[in-house]
A and B are shown apart, each in its own frame.
Chain A
Amino acid sequence: MTQLFVERFPDQARLVRLAFFNSFAAFGIGALFGLIQALHRTDVLRIVESPTYYTVLTAHGVFLVITFTIFFLVGLYQWAVTTSLERRPVDMRITKAWYWLMSIGTVIAGITILAGFLDDPPEVLGSQLSADVLFTFYAPLQGNPLFYVGLVLFVVGTWLAGVDWFRTWWAWKGDNPGARIPLPTFMVLTTMIMWYISSIGVAVAILAFILPWSLGLIDSLNPTLTRTLFWYFGHPVVYFWLLPAYLLWYIVLPKLSGGRLFSDPLARVVFILFILLSTPVGIHHQYLDPGIAEGFKYIVMTNTMFLLLPSLLTAFTVVASMEHGARQRGGEGYFGWLDALPWRNPAFTGMALAGLVFAFGGFTGIVNAGMNINYLVHNSAWVPGHIHTQVGTAVALTFMAGSYWLIPQLTGNRLVWRQAALVQVLLWFIGIVFMTNSMYRAGLVGVPRRTAEPQYAFEYDVGVGSMTELDFQLALGGFLLFISAMLFLAIIFMTWRNSESEPIVDGTIPPALSGPEDSPRVLDNLRLWIAIALVLVAIAYVIPLASIVTRGGLFGPDIGPFPVFTDPMILLEYGSKLIGMVVI
């Protein structure tokens, strides 16, 4: 048994622990808000006023899909680069800089959002300190400038992290001329290339338009333009959440199954496909937008469908690797090998269940991508159903399961309560099945997403079952997920405190059955893939963006800001102004 990660790289282990700490803290808050929402929407228990629901919803979105996922990513990638290249960062000051930039950004954005709970938020930078604009912050809804500043710092932090990992790789390349990039590092670098290409969109949206507009430096902006720039980033960001889970499925899951990765070359192809296809698809979130021609929507539809390919290849490789592992453990028969898998290991079971949910959720994503059937489900509860199977389970459950394997190596402590950990991953699975079953079905009958009270004057035409039954499943699922999340945090906390123990975990990763020598070297030519990716992005985006700017102008056809406050008095004033306008 090799030395533990924490023994080989104590300072790196500490940094990964810090990143995971931020990630899990955000996870705990986000999970609590998720429970509040599940109970509020279904009218089981409403502990906040409905306008405040949107503060809860904004925090749930930002803390979970930005803070929880991306802090886990940087921690995991720091571990992956360090362990696969067997070296520390070139300059640890940069490593610390990105960690602190991301942390400060999170705190600033977090305070701005949470200030929405105050009855009378203080004035900061010329407007009330709040940002009930949800994770998508579509202008002309306007949050406090600090919200956008926090997001910018956070994203700049992730960029710096990428620089850090590239430098480590360049230093390694100097020492190992001609060697193939180790697979985990290859995955890190390709993910970051995708991230650089795509996060430019949100950076331009914020820095050129939304931030100066929220500070009052410009009066108007073009909402179609900022929205398009957001989705230029908004779809690839889901792969930024997903690819760390892919890394765990490719690198760790085969080993947990008792075997080794089936194919290293195909893993590389999959990650390259994500560089190429992640970004030129964002307009598929805008199928229902006016101001974008049908032809552009059709182009992104085809690109999106081809994005199925890397996920289908992953399904094959992961299942093949698991089968190989099971057969190494004595499994036999067409399906009998499933029995031989280590189902009592929470790290394995969590990842396997996450993969199962991901496969199902992937098909619901095809419904979203089908541009004409999308009309039926767009912005219905179907969409958060899809998000919660994909990010909320494929990603989140994989991260939790992966933590059961990683945390002992990062702390030198034995995982506590293995049985409870198994219950935890099962509970998550059961919770998500109830909750997303409700969301998917409710979405099909037209129940909207993102609303405090989906109860209207009309009745939904629920074909099978009833709204009461759907609400019950949603509330029950949300409750089970919350319990599971708290159990996870308790297990991690107790493991961290469990310092009087020796971990039973083997950190070695066996080489793939079909190694990198079976693939052409061109796969490692990152410059080539960047160039092709940029061409594809240009094809998908240059003309639509030019058309949006030509039609509506760079700063829009005179669109003023609409600050979002939860203060009911302001709402009243606002309403009376509108009524005045209507009467005139």
Chain B
Amino acid sequence: MRIHVYERLWLVASMILIVAFIATVTYGTVGLGITMVDDREETLSPGDIDEDERFEDPRIEQVGENEFEAYVVAMTFLFQPDPIEVPANSEVTFYVTSRDVIHSFTVVGTNTNTMVIPGEVSVMTVEFDEPGEYGIICNEYCGVGHHDMEAELIVVEEDEFDLTELSVDAPDTVEPDAEIELTATVSNGLIDDLEATVTVEIGDETFQEDVTVGGDESEDVSITVDADDLGEGDHDWTVTVDDYEETGTVSVASDTDENDDGSENGEDTTDENDASSTVEDRLS
């Protein structure tokens, strides 16, 4: 075949260019370790998401020193959990699946980007060096509300990050001659111990207790107050642990009072007030 000499040169240069492109991509994969989303996870039917221990409660878990796993569920038109909080200087592996149609899990302005296909679980490991805030969006058309599908990713300072949960168990009403027992449960999702001070305020009284909660454990702190000391009426209480706060009200009232005053409280049969706070209720 007769090919003009310039065209031969062009052909050779083109082949060199192509091989060079392939080499750079190969370097990115082997040298820089940019791995692809792939088929490492088993398929998971959308109907089984609520029975899957990873996705039944979408959350962040610590799995090693500076290593975390995030279990994320995408659905029309939201992500769970939202916001997603991770510490700086960490390595987070995201597991993402879809409850319905094809979505994406895309951290805007970064290369953290994967398709989320129902029946499949996408896995990608991301290093977070610096604190910052990012938008998470779905960038695959998923239906009429597609443009509303967004969430937030917050990378917090390493020493400000925790996986603490606070829940409080306290009665709603007590007899004037009874005791009010209030139990705060502090659980620690991190591997390292959590040193914290539990502060309980009720009426004019304040109690403080230092607790050490082991990794992946929880501790109860109970305080007891004589209802008489508070007197009859409604009394607000507040429990704080680090940045977490729970509040509630306890009524001190005698049975007879309550019967007389049935129009207001008589049908209020719940005598326990369970409150729990997770990351969503954080104050700061």
Residues on A close to B: CB < 8 A? 50-51, 54, 57, 132, 134, 138, 140-141, 222-224, 227, 262-263, 265-266, 286-294, 297-298, 301-302, 305-306, 308-309, 312-313, 316-317, 320, 366, 369-373, 375-376, 378-380, 445-446, 448-454, 456-458, 460-461, 514, 518-520, 547, 551-552, 556-560, 562, 564-566, 568, 571, 574-575, 578, 581-582, 584
Contact = CB atoms under 8 A, between A and B. Distances in A.
B52 to A, nearest CB: 12
Nearest to B27: A372
Interface of B: 1-4, 6-7, 10-11, 14-15, 17-18, 21-22, 24-25, 28-29, 32, 34-39, 41-47, 50, 75-76, 80, 99-102, 104, 106, 108-123, 133-135, 137, 139-148, 150, 152
B119 A224 contact: yes
A451 B146 contact: yes
B144 A132 contact: yes
A51 B141 contact: no
A84 B118 CA distance: 50
B18 A547 contact: no
A371 B26 CA distance: 9
A289 B115 contact: yes
Contacts of B147: 50, 451-454
B18 A292 contact: no
Given A227-B102, A305-B22, A312-B14, A450 B141 contact: yes
A151 B150 CA distance: 33
Contact of A562 (B10, B39, B100, B113): B100
Contacts of A514: 2, 4
Given A458-B134, A552-B43, A263 B144 contact: no
A452 B121 contact: no
B15 A309 contact: yes
Nearest to B26: A298
Nearest to B151: A457
A289 B146 contact: no
A557 B44 contact: yes
A78 to B, nearest CB: 31
9 contacts: A50-B147, A141-B101, A305-B18, A306-B18, A373-B111, A375-B112, A376-B113, A453-B147, A557-B45
Contacts, number: 235
B191 to A, nearest CB: 28
Contacts of A552: 43, 119-120
Given A263-B7, A306-B18, A446 B110 contact: yes
A302 B117 CA distance: 25
B109 A291 contact: no
B39 A448 contact: no
Given A266-B7, A292-B39, A520-B1, A222 B101 contact: no
Contacts of A288: 37, 104, 113-115
Contacts of A547: 39
A289 B1 contact: no
Contact of A223 (B4, B24, B118): B118
A49 B235 CA distance: 51
A54 B144 contact: yes
B139 A379 contact: yes
Nearest to A455: B147
A575 B132 CA distance: 31
B39 A446 contact: no
A584 B49 CA distance: 12
